[in-house]
A and B are shown apart, each in its own frame.
Chain A
Amino acid sequence: MWREIRDREAGKTRPNSFTNRIKSNRIADLQLSNCKDIVSPHRGSINSLQVDLTEGRYLLSGASDASAACFDIQRATDYEGRGLIAKHKCLFAVDKQHESGHKFAISSAIWYPVDTGLFITGSYDHYIKVWDTNTTQAVVNFKMPGKVYRTAMSPLATSHMLIAAGTEDVQVRLCDIASGAFAHTLSGHRDGVMTVEWSTSSEFVLITGGCDGAIRFWDIRRAGCFRVLDQSRSQLGRRPPILACSATNKVSISKALSVGQNLPSKPRVHQKKPAAGNGIKQSPLGRTPAKGPLRQRLHPGMLSSQDRATAHYGAVTGLKITEDGMYLLSAGSDSRMRLWDVESGCNTLVNFETVRLQTSKAIQLATTQDSSLVFVPCMTAVKAFDVWSGMTSMTFRGHYEYVNCCWFNSQDQEIYTGGNDRQILVWSPSRLIANEMDTGPAEDQDNWSD
């Protein structure tokens, strides 16, 4: 540790690599935090957790007793055990008693990505509500056709303010906060939609996973989905060429994605000269020559062999796109995790050592910033898998019932997990410098009397 700091001081290491190294060291020794307690006001299982994206300070939780609560995770409200244990009580909570509160379980509670002035809750009572944080009043109300399973807002959107909502209904709806109405209705799934996720590389790309086992990619600027992931189409491991240089990496991604986005023109090209020599750039898409034209002809929702492809046997319960937007992780009720190459739409055949996953509920996955680890709620524990090898690197045991959600706070390198036992647990790196408070009350030491 000190040597690294000296190296950094001497300019031997780059600032970026230095921080990365320290961060990864900290992540490697995450453990249940003794000195940070989140006092859960919920009387039901925690379904959703999110730390705001602007300050990284406020944790929002949604629970099945129709309550949502907000915590300040950086400043404790009070201390216990002579300052040893910091208690974080909720700053505010909205529950059934609230005049415009939800009636049934809140399945998803997310922050408005731009600031912490708004947050959005989706509930089993068929409503999505947008709340003003400061007055804790519901400002917009969306009536959905069924239970809301998951809501999502694009973290990079600049041109739209759409809430994507996965519900019991087969259609995915996009709710516009600006107008208070549904902007889009995306149909394609044959069963309820368990999970929705916006792409982290393009503000117009939405990914949805349904109970029918399909993962669909939508470009919200055009009708129909442009890709259905098929578990039988696979490639081995990561694509090598893109990692040539980190600087060009981003460009290539954006280019690759722009390829995807400019599909309306491309498929036509494909159609006209099928099996013609594609450019190197188009090579991932070129592997599916039949897909473009077929979808072009088909009206969304019509039958086709591609359209029937499934990503999991059973329902897709969790989706998480990596920070760079190149890979997609999915969890299914078949207790499998899959890593998809977004660019090619192929299953990368990474075998994650999940033993069992919860099947009845949507689960919330989390990845680290450099997408080296993925945190997955596996029944009563949370496991951290290496994204590229699928090996278990850590297991977090602490909950006494099923864990539903987890969130990685990349700023403090902490994870927050919520489960059916109504607890929100904080897992943080162990402190390097032993706190002097540790020698406080009733010292924890060996006590051999004989």
Chain B
Amino acid sequence: METVGGLGQGKVRALIEKATNSTEAEVEPRLLKAIKSVVRYSDSELRLAAQTLMDLMKRDHSQVRYLTLLIIDQLFMRSKLFRTLLVENLDQLLSLSVGFRRNLPLPAPPAVASVLRSKAIEFLEKWNDSFGIHYRQIRLGFDYLKNTLRFQFPNIQANAAQERREREMRSKEILQSKFEILKGNLSSIKEEIQSTLDEIGECLEIVRTEQETMPPGPLDDEDFVEFRPSELRQIRLDSLREGEKIHENSENKVVFDALRELYKLLVTKHLVSVQEWISVLIRVEVPDNRSRDSVLKEFIDIQNRLQSVKKKCVESGYALPDTTKREKDEEEDFWEEGKIESIKLESSNALNKLNENFAVASTSGQTKNDSPESSKGKAKCDQSQSCKGADSSSLRSKLLAEGPVVKWGNFLNNWDSNRVVLANQRGLELESHWGRVDYNAVIPAEKIAELNIRATIYEEEQVEIQPCHAPLHKGGLCQRRDLRVCPFHGPVIPRDDEGNPINKSTSTSDTTLDSDLIEQLAKQAVKNVRNRENEEANKRKLDKQSQKRAKLAKIREHNEAVLRDAALASTSNSVFAGENVKATTGGRLARNKKKSLASMLHKKESTKDRLAQRLLNTRARDATIRLLTLGEDANYREAFPNQW
């Protein structure tokens, strides 16, 4: 190999040696990358690398072997030539890394050696899985370690299969439980959806009746516009149709709001949930398919109905996505960003209340008439709800009456449920995923709860800002509304009708106080301040002393601890080299030696240690001797029971 040598020859050897000469648990990624890039473009370097790595594996130090093995794995998974080179000496590599030959145990730092062994076994399994088919040697080695020496392999693949099976089982269970739930409250779900649909229908009805009452616009004049170009006609027709549509005005605003809200409910809640149920029904495996199929059919019908209603809403243009509306609202709100709220807010409040009502109604069917300004449409809605609510049980209505009224939100869907949810089975079939989709992925119940935390928008309490009411020169009172300080009249204080402050004690009266008294007071104040200062100084001094004492105590304690550690570490043989070295060098010797490969092997032996060993040995020996003699005695007695 040396004869092939070019200019850069031997670079890889230096790199590998540098990479393996470290006490870290990983090969330094930069060096590894350098090795890979050198080896990638030159076969001779690769051969040299294989040679060097095998040489390093023979090094009498587990750490070196461990790092070497890591590099070997990296190259092994990548280069075919490297594989063929290495596989020829696989038995040697295995005996050096696994240490299965009794006459060739793994070398010194035992902690690293055990890591090395487990890693080697893991790698062998990996290699066998990916390349075993091409290399008899790998198969042989794997087979030998597994079937003859009975090594425990991590068995990654089988474990993964097992896990997958378990996951599938779990998802099946989830589906099953979901199906059970669905069967349980199928009627209530249907009822709920039906009620929403009914409400929408009624709202639409109302709007339509209004439309009919409206004066009919100019009717079809197609007779005499036929000669016009078709485009123009189209435009005209469109505009006509647009004109036929009812536009929101102050009268039917409430109805529209309700309609919008219902539409939102329909799209965001019912449609999605129905789709989800359908997907559950499709996936679930139950013993009796008939009931499932019938339920599925029903759901599909419901879905179709929902779709048609949605379409109707969209067509009629009432239920335009309310984002535009909200934007408008925000625009309107813009100029009064301060704390003052006008009537606008009140109206929106009213709207909110209305929504609330609807939400509650749609979930419970309870009647709650707390919005006095509800219009005709609203009343109608309520009526429909109330007649439905009548047949629900009285206890329930009582409870509902007691319960707080909460704004409707997504969180209500999952109220008090601790079901896990399948993440990728939402009824939406997304085909254009990039990458694989795990259909069994699950969102745990806690996460769902977290996601569905009830969100409330902070609404400020309405504060009536008092006007300044200070008397003006030209007569009248200042009408400025400032929170605390009026720029012209100072702090805003309560005043009576003429503008005089109501509370007199503070500002106006103290000018009349006695000057003597003031002086006295001032003196007293100065004295007080002095006293306080003195006290503080004393205290500070004391503090400093105690702190010093505490510091000293701490240092002493630390020293003691370190010494104790050192003593422990140097006596106990069970402590592995790594920590050991650190403790001893840090504790007993003041200078901090750098950790090196040699130091890993090194084990300090003190006189104490030796003494302990000796004591232990003699004691153990004595004990065994005693035991043996005892045993002999007993045997003797058993054998010759008559003799003593």
Chain A residues close to B by CB (< 8 Å)? 32-34, 37, 80-81, 84-85, 380, 397-400, 421-423, 425, 441-442, 444-450
Contacts and interface: CB of A to CB of B under 8 A. Distances in A.
Contacts of A441: 133
Nearest to B81: A446
B121 to A, nearest CB: 15
Question: Is chain A's interface secondary structure helix, strand, loop, or mixed overall?
Answer: loop
Contacts of B33: 450
Contacts of B88: 397
Given A380-B91, A442-B130, A446-B79, A400 B136 contact: no
B417 interface: no
B78 A446 contact: yes
Interface pairs A-B: 8 shortest CB-CB = A444-B134, A81-B133, A400-B144, A34-B136, A32-B136, A446-B80, A448-B78, A447-B78
B40 A422 contact: no
A81 B132 CA distance: 10
Contacts of A446: 78-81
B134 A400 contact: no
B140 A423 contact: yes
29 contacts: A32-B136, A34-B135, A34-B136, A37-B136, A80-B133, A84-B134, A380-B91, A397-B89, A398-B136, A398-B137, A399-B91, A400-B91, A400-B141, A400-B144, A421-B144, A421-B148, A422-B148, A423-B140, A441-B133, A442-B133, A444-B83, A444-B131, A444-B133, A446-B78, A446-B80, A446-B81, A448-B36, A448-B40, A449-B78
Contacts of A81: 133
A419 to B, nearest CB: 10
Contacts of A421: 144, 148
A444 B91 contact: no
Interface string B118-160: 0000000000001101111100110110001000000000000
Given A33-B136, A34-B135, A398-B136, A445 B144 contact: no
B18 to A, nearest CB: 19
B135 to A, nearest CB: 7
B225 interface: no
Contacts of A442: 130, 133
Contacts of B555: none
A398 B77 CA distance: 21
Contact of A400 (B78, B79, B133, B148): B148
B80 A444 contact: yes
Interface of B: 33, 36-37, 40, 77-81, 83, 88-89, 91-92, 130-131, 133-137, 140-141, 143-144, 148
A448 B79 contact: yes
B387 to A, nearest CB: 70
Contacts of A80: 133
A55 B135 CA distance: 30
A34 B88 CA distance: 13
A400 B130 contact: no
A84 B132 CA distance: 11
Given A37-B136, A442-B133, A446-B78, 7 more contacts: A34-B135, A380-B91, A398-B140, A425-B136, A444-B83, A448-B40, A450-B36
Given A400-B91, A423-B140, A34 B79 contact: no
Contacts of B141: 400
Nearest to A381: B91
A423 B78 CA distance: 29
B122 to A, nearest CB: 19
A397 B144 CA distance: 14
Given A400-B144, A446-B80, A450-B33, A84 B91 contact: no
A403 B191 CA distance: 81
A444 B137 CA distance: 15
Contacts of B40: 448
Nearest to B135: A34
B133 A85 contact: yes
Contacts of A399: 91
A130 B78 CA distance: 53
A73 to B, nearest CB: 16
Nearest to B100: A400
Given A397-B91, A421-B144, A84 B136 contact: no
Residue from B88, B134, B137, B143 having most chain A Cβ neighbours under 10 A = B134
A400 B148 CA distance: 10
Given A400-B91, A400-B148, A444-B131, A32 B79 contact: no
Nearest to B134: A444
A441 B132 CA distance: 12
A449 B133 CA distance: 22
A422 to B, nearest CB: 7
Contacts of B37: 450
A47 to B, nearest CB: 17
Nearest to B79: A446
A400 B77 contact: no
B244 to A, nearest CB: 66
Nearest to A447: B78
Residue from A85, A400, A444, A446 having most chain B Cβ neighbours under 10 A = A400
A80 B132 CA distance: 12
A449 B75 CA distance: 11
Contacts of B78: 446-449
Nearest to A80: B133
A418 to B, nearest CB: 13
Contacts of B135: 34
A227 B420 CA distance: 90
Nearest to B133: A81
Given A421-B148, A448-B40, A32 B133 contact: no
A397 B87 CA distance: 10
A330 B133 CA distance: 38
A32 B148 contact: no
B133 A84 contact: yes
B134 A34 contact: yes
A85 B135 CA distance: 10
Contacts of A422: 148
Contacts of A425: 136, 140
A27 B120 CA distance: 34
A113 B91 CA distance: 37
A423 B148 CA distance: 11
A430 to B, nearest CB: 11
A397 B37 CA distance: 31
A447 B77 contact: yes
A85 B78 CA distance: 23
Contacts of A444: 80, 83, 131, 133-134
A34 B80 CA distance: 15
A37 B141 CA distance: 14
A389 to B, nearest CB: 24
Nearest to A426: B136
B133 A445 contact: no
Nearest to A35: B136
A193 to B, nearest CB: 31
B304 to A, nearest CB: 48
Nearest to A34: B136
A449 B79 CA distance: 11
A421 B137 CA distance: 13
Nearest to A397: B91
Contacts of A400: 91, 140-141, 144, 148
Contacts of B81: 446
A399 B137 CA distance: 9
A32 B88 CA distance: 9
Contacts of A447: 77-78
A76 to B, nearest CB: 15
Residue from B83, B88, B92 having most chain A Cβ neighbours under 10 A = B88
A78 to B, nearest CB: 15
